[in-house]
Amino acid sequence: MNMVGSKIRRFREDRGIKQEHMAHELELTQSSYGRLEKDDNRLTVPKIQKIAEVLNVPVSILFGEKTGNILYENNGNNVQTSTLVQNYETEHIKSLKEEITFLRKLLEGKMK
């Protein structure tokens, strides 16, 4: 699964940024950068950080974390988290698990 690479491509295209520009920013050839989007196992932490910087997005977004406003309902003295917060937390946990899986795969590749 090429989760991170496909998110990078979507953000890049949404912003009208060409692969050539991304390659220049990462000090890569265009073909090397293109392979990063197709095979996210080639991504390193410094490259992910630089890509996020160029795309002007948080790194966590590239791993599927969703941003959202956290809302609270105040019922008298009891503050209860809303369904929105609970859903956000569930999605956040799911995205963190995906991120851990991805990073483990990166580490396994480096250990070989």
3 state SS of 78: strand
**pLDDT tens digits for 48-99?**
999 999 998 888 888 877 654 433 444 444 444 345 456 667 777 888 888 8
pLDDT (mean) for 6-29 = 93
Name the 3-class secondary structure at 9: helix
Six token digits for residue 13: 């295209």
Band (17; pLDDT cuts 50, 70, 90):
very high
Q: Does domain 3-111 have CATH number 3.30.470.20?
A: no
60 and 32 Cβ atoms separated by less than 8 Å: no
Q: How far apart are CA 29 and CA 2, in angstroms?
A: 20
Domain ranges of the chain: 3-111
Condensed to tens digits (0 to 9), the pLDDT of residues 95-111 reads 888 889 988 888 888 76
Q: Which of 102, 110, 111 is nearest to 48 (CA)?
A: 102
